[in-house]
Amino acid sequence: MTPSRASLDLAVRRGASTLLAASLALVTYWWIEGGGLGDLGGWASGLTSLGRWTGLVASVLLLVQVLLMARVPVLERAYGQDRLTHVHRTVGFTSFNLMLAHVVLITWGYAAGSLLRWPAELWDLTRSYPAMLLADAGFVALVLVVVTSVRAARKKLRYESWHLLHLYAYLGAGLALPHQLWTGQELVSSTGRAVFWWTAWGLATASVLLWRVALPVTRNLRHQLRVEEVVEEEPGVVSVVVTGRRLDRLKVQGGQWLSWRFLGRDGWSRANPYSLSAAPDGRRLRITVQSVGDGSGSTATLTRGSRVLVEGPYGRLSPRSRHGDKVALIGAGVGSAPLVALAEELAPAGDVVVLHRSSGPGAFTDDLRRLAARGVRVMHLPGRRRGPDSWLGDAHVGRYSDLAALRHWVPDIARRDVYVCGPEPWADLVVADLRRAGVPETHIHVEAFGW
C-alpha cells in the first residue's frame, strides 16, 4: 500500500474514534449542564439522572451501530471486515446494556426509588408517554438481535437465518427514534441539541439508504450479472463464474468479498458472503463455495443464465492494505480463495509466498500451479491439522513446531505483509505465531470464517 493510502486509512480510523469520543463527551456535558450531577444527591432523582445519561450514551452508540451496518466505503476500507466486526460487536452489546440500564433506572426513579412500584410505573409510562409503544417494539427487536448475536446462539443458526434476523437492528433503531425526539428533553431542549441529534439521525439514515439501497440497486442495474458456468472442483466444493456488462467499472480487487444473491432458487432473498477466488479481469468474476449450509449447498444447482444480485465489494484483504512488495499469504482449504485471487494481482510486481493447507487435493491445485509458473513461491501444507493447538497439517508431525516451520519456510516473515484467511480458530493460531515471529500488528491482515 502506498504511504498516502496508509496515512489516509489511519487518519480515517483516528478521525472516527475522535468523533465518537467528542460526541459522547458532548452529550455528557449537556447532561451535566442540565443538572445531571446535582441530581445524584437524591435517591430517586439520582436514579432518574443516571437513566437519562445511559439513554443518551446508548443513543449515540445506536447511531454508531447503524453507521457500521451501512457499509460506508471509507470505513470499510480503513478498518477491514474483521476489525469492523469486532467494533460492531463491542459497540452493539455496550449500546444494548446501556439501553437496558436506561429503561430500568429511569423507571425506577419515576417510581420514587421503589422496586415494588417499578412494574406498575413501567406500564404507566408505556401507556401515557408518546411513542413509548413504538420504543418498546424497537427494544424487543434489538433484544432479538442481541440474543442471536451471542456466540452460543449463532452456532445454532444458519448464516442465512442469522443475517435475516440481524436486519431487525434497523427496525429497532427506527422505532426508537420517535420516542427519543418526542419525549427525550435532553435531545431537543435547545437548538444545539436538536441540531446535533437531527443531523446525526439524518446522516445515519442517509448512509443506509445510499450505501445499502441506492448503490447496490445502481450497480446491479448497470452490470446485469448472470451465471456463466458452475464447475465442481472437488466433492462439496464448486466454483461459480459470473459475467455481466461493463465489469471493468466494478471497483473490486482480488481478496475482496461481496454479498451474493442467486435468483431462481429457494432462499434467494438471503445474501451469502463469498470472496472472489480469481482476480477480476473486467469480464468475469469467480467465487469458490464449500457446501456448509442451505445457501452454499444449493450453489451447485445453479443454471447457466441465472440472474445474480450483489452488494459490495467489501473487505481490506486486498492489495490496498499492504505496506511493501514482500507478501506472504497463508490459507486453509476454501479459505485460500481470496488469497489465490490476491496472489494473482500481486504476482507481477511483488515477492509473493503462498502457504496453502488442505486435507485433500484441494480446489485450487490448478490455480496454485499457474501462480508457481508466474514466479510465486507456493508451499503445500498437506493433511489434517496435527492437533488442536497447531495450524499445520499432520504431514509435519514431529518435525518442527509451527513457529519454527514458519521461520524455516519464510525466513524474512517479519519483514512481510502477511494475509491470513481460514476458519477462525485456525486463523487465531496462525496470527499468534506471526506475532511471535516479529510481524508488526499493522502488517497482519486477517479474514476469518466467523459471523
Here the CATH number for the domain that contains residue 393 is: 3.40.50.80
Question: Based on the domain organization, do 240 and 366 belong to the same domain?
Answer: no
Q: Are residues 26 and 71 in the same domain?
A: yes
Residues 383 and 337 in one domain: yes
Over residues 340-363, the pLDDT tens digits come to: 999 998 887 679 999 998 876 677
Q: Which of 214, 203, 213, 215 is nearest to 63 (CA)?
A: 203
Grid cell listed for 450: 466467523
Q: Which residue has the higher pLDDT, 84 or 375?
A: 375
Q: Residue 295: its pLDDT value, please?
A: 59
- 19 and 160 in one domain? yes
For the segment 148-158, the average pLDDT, to the nearest whole number, is: 58
pTM for this one?
A: 0.79
Question: Which range, 83-92, 326-335, 392-401, 431-440, is most confident?
Answer: 431-440
Order across the sheet with 351-358: list the strands. Answer: 377-382, 351-358, 326-332, 417-423, 444-449
H or E stretch covering 425: helix 424-436
- Which amino acid appears at position 85 of this protein? T
Mean pLDDT, residues 55-75: 87
Residue 348 DSSP class: G
Task: Give the residue from 188, 218, 248 where a domain finishes.
Answer: 218
Other CB atoms within 10 A of residue 72 CB: 18
Residue 220, pLDDT score = 95
Same domain for 379 and 239: no
Task: Of 135, 107, 109, 142, give the one whose Cα is nearest residue 123.
Answer: 107
What's the average model confidence in pLDDT over 37-60?
A: 90
Q: What is the pLDDT of residues 166-198, one digit of tens each?
A: 665 666 666 666 666 555 556 666 788 888 988
Model confidence pLDDT, tens digit, residues 356-403: 988 766 778 889 999 999 889 998 888 788 888 889 887 766 667 899
Residues 116 and 212 grouped into a single domain: yes
Give the mean model confidence (pLDDT) for residues 58-85.
84
Domain boundary among 265, 290, 314: 314
Burial 34-58 (b: 16+ CB within 10 A, else e): bebeebeeeeebbbbbbbbbbbbbb
Pick the range with the lowest mean pLDDT from 32-46, 224-238, 295-309.
Answer: 295-309
- Same domain for 242 and 209, yes or no, is no
Number of domains in the chain: 3
Of the residues 295, 314, 333, the one at which a domain ends: 314
Written as one letter, the residue type at 201 is W
Residue 201 above 70 pLDDT?
yes
Residues 298 and 389 in one domain: no
Q: Tell me what the mean pLDDT of segment 234-254 comes to.
A: 91
* pLDDT on residue 38: 87
CB crowding 332-366: b at 16 or more within 10 Å, else e: bbbbbbbbbbbbbbbbeebbbbbbbbbeeebbbee
Predicted confidence band of residue 24 (pLDDT cuts 50, 70, 90): very high
Q: Same domain, yes or no, for 347 and 297?
A: no
**Is there a single domain that holds both residue 239 and residue 290?**
yes
Chain-centre distance of CA 140, in angstroms? 23
Neighbours of 32 (CB within 10 A): 13
Domain containing 329 equals: 319-449
pLDDT at residue 174 in the model: 64
The pLDDT confidence band at residue 3, using thresholds 50, 70 and 90, is very low
Give all strands (DSSP E) within 43-97, no chain letters: none
d(CA 296, CA 291): 5
pLDDT of residue 6 exceeding 80: no
Q: Is the pLDDT of residue 80 over 80?
A: no
CATH of the domain at 232: 2.40.30.10
Average pLDDT, the chain: 83
pLDDT digits (tens, 9 = 90+) for 299-339: 888 889 999 999 989 887 888 888 888 999 999 888 889 99
Q: Do 40 and 139 reside in the same domain of the chain? A: yes
Whether residues 35 and 168 share a domain: the answer is yes
- Is the pLDDT confidence value at 163 over 80? no
pLDDT at 16 over 50: yes
